[in-house]
Amino acid sequence: MVEFFRNITFENPGWFWLFLLLPFLVLWYVLKHKKQTPPVKISSLKGFKIKQGILPKLKPLLFVLQMLGLSLLITAMARPRTKEVTTKAETKEAIDIMMAVDVSGSMLARDLKPDRLQALKGVATKFVEKRINDRIGIVIYAGESYTKTPITSDKNVLINAIKSIEYDRTIKDGTAIGMGLATAVSRIKDSPAKSKIIILLTDGVNNSGQIDPHTAIELARKYKLKVYTIGIGTNGTAMSPVGILPNGELHFERAPVEIDEELMKEVAQKTGGKYFRATDEEKLESIYDEIDKLETTEIEEQTYSNYTEKFRPLVILAGIFFLLEFLLRHTLFRSFV
């Protein structure tokens, strides 16, 4: 019975007011019972053979069965039922995101652990995993740029692409911010999505490439693309690669950190985005979290409620109690009623 009433709600709880009548019915029964069995006074019980049976003592059982049946009927009229809620989420408007990642040699600087590029890859992977409903693409650039992954909704492809990003000298070294941004614009401008953004990350100053950053800014504005810019690196100096040793390994020395923050701020301001500076791993992660909150995907959530009526077992049980009372009254207790 306890399990039956677990998670139960009542559609018509007003019927419970009828329980206030039960005490009056009990009082009426007690008074009626006393009236039906008045006391008889005699001078002596000698000559009477007294045999006390158990049936007279069980006669109140009939009233108990009536009260139980009535209580169950009142509860059934209150219409107990359980409610199961299911939710269906539907994407109304997803966002297309193009990430332009600087992979120049300076991204191997060790002011972030283990270095800037590896720290970025870890944070970018988490960002992609959270953007469940959005499509994302990746452009990488150094002295020139190319598309690592076109815009896709396949998160496994994106995560594997991020993991495979390395400084491997396959493209000319340098920092071509204008080309990185222009390539990202060309890859996302024809997307049918209503909301389109670019995340542009660099740790340096534009010093190469065939496209001026201001030209790339105007391209982004023309196609109404919002650009979030991130400057990565500590303030001051950092252990950075400055040359190649005879054995082919990179030679690290402490070198000044140079980020063209004025340019990055201009890109963000003119395209309606925002500029961030990541000086450590925690700050970089918080930046991506903030972008995640700023650019939310519109989700329509539909809730379905499934009700299961529970009054039928109560009605059946009440009927059993009334039937049992009727049978006992006209059989076992017939001579006492």
In a domain, 104, yes or no: yes
DSSP string, 33-75: HHHHS-----S--TT------SHHHHTHHHHHHHHHHHHHHHH
In a domain, 37, yes or no: no
- The answer to whether the CB of 106 falls within 8 A of the CB of 203 is yes
Give dist(CA 309, CA 76) in Å, integer. 10
| CATH number of the domain residue 150 falls in | 3.40.50.410
Mean pLDDT of 57-81: 85
- 38 pLDDT above the threshold of 60: no
pLDDT in tens, 285-309: 999 999 988 887 665 556 677 878 8
In a domain, 228, yes or no: yes
In a domain, 62, yes or no: no
- 86 pLDDT above the threshold of 80: no
Query: In which domain, by residue range, is 164 found?
Result: 90-300
Which residues are CB-neighbours of 241 under 8 A, at least 6 positions away? 105, 106, 108, 109, 250, 251, 252
Domain count within the chain: 1
Half-sphere exposure of 61 (CA within 13 A, CB side): 16
* Confidence band for 39, pLDDT divided at 50, 70 and 90: low
Which residues are CB-neighbours of 269 under 8 A, at least 6 positions away? 275
pLDDT in tens, 117-131: 999 999 999 999 988
* Global pTM value: 0.62
* Beta strands 135-141; 80-93: pairing state: unpaired
Half-sphere exposure of 188 (CA within 13 A, CB side): 36
User: Which spans in 189-310 are helix H?
Assistant: 213-222, 261-271, 281-294
**Residue 201 or residue 313, greater confidence:** 201
The partner residues of 252 in beta bridges, in order of sequence, read 241
b vs e for 227-249, b when ≥16 Cβ sit within 10 Å of the residue's Cβ?
A: bbbbbbbbeeebebbeeeeeeee
